[in-house]
Amino acid sequence: MQDTIVQDVIETRGLRRVFKSRNRSVEAVAGVDLNVHPGEIFGFLGPNGAGKTTTLRMLATLLPPSGGSATVAGCNLLTQPDRIRERIGYVGQAGGSDREITGRSELVFQGRLYGKSVAGAKKRAAELITMLELESCADRKAGTYSGGQKRRLDIGLGLVHDPQLLFLDEPTTGLDPQSRARVWDEVRRMHDRGTTVFLTTHYLDEADALCDRIAIIDYGKIVAEGTPEELKRAVAGDVVTLTVAGEPQRALDVLKDQVFVREAKLDEGSVLLYVDRGEVAMPAILRLLDGAGLTLVTIGLHRPSLDDVFLRQTGRSLRETAA
What's the CA gap between 283 and 285, in Å, rounded? 5
In the complex with other proteins, the residue whose CB is nearer, 157 or 214, is 157
Nearer to other proteins, 148 or 228 (CB): 148
The nearer residue to other proteins, 98 or 205, going by C-beta atoms, is 98
Please name the helix (run of DSSP H) or strand (run of DSSP E) that holds residue 109, with its range, or none: helix 103-113
Least distance to other proteins from the beta carbon of 88, Å?
A: 7
From the CB of 185, what's the least distance to other proteins, in Å? 23
CB-nearer residue toward other proteins: 50 or 60: 60
Length, in residues, of the chain:
323
Strand order in the sheet with 10-20: 25-36, 10-20, 67-72, 75-76
**Taking a C-beta distance cutoff of 8 angstroms, is the pair 243, 230 a contact?**
no
Closer residue to other proteins (CB): 114 or 219: 114
Closest CB to other proteins among residues 113, 209: 113
Smallest distance from the beta carbon of 170 to other proteins, in angstroms? Answer: 12
d(CA 66, CA 198): 21
Q: How far is the CB of 96 from other proteins (least distance, A)?
A: 3
Q: Could you give the CA distance from residue 203 to residue 172 in angstroms, rounded to a whole number?
A: 9
Write the single-letter amino acid at 216: I
Is the Cα torsion angle 47, 49, 50, 54 positive or negative in sign? positive
Residue 150 CB, shortest distance to other proteins, in Å, is: 10
Residues that bind other proteins (CB under 8 A): 19, 57, 60-64, 82, 85-86, 88-90, 92-101, 105, 109-110, 112-115, 154, 157
Residue closer to other proteins, measured from CB, 113 or 280:
113
CB of 189 to other proteins, least distance (A): 21
Please list, in sequence order, all residues whose beta carbon lies within 8 angstroms of the beta carbon of residue 313, skipping any fewer than 6 positions away. 216, 218, 223, 224
Task: Specify whether the CB–CB gap between 112 and 124 falls below 8 A.
Answer: no
Tell me the C-alpha distance between 320 and 322, whole Å: 6
Least distance (Å) from other proteins to the CB of residue 18? 11
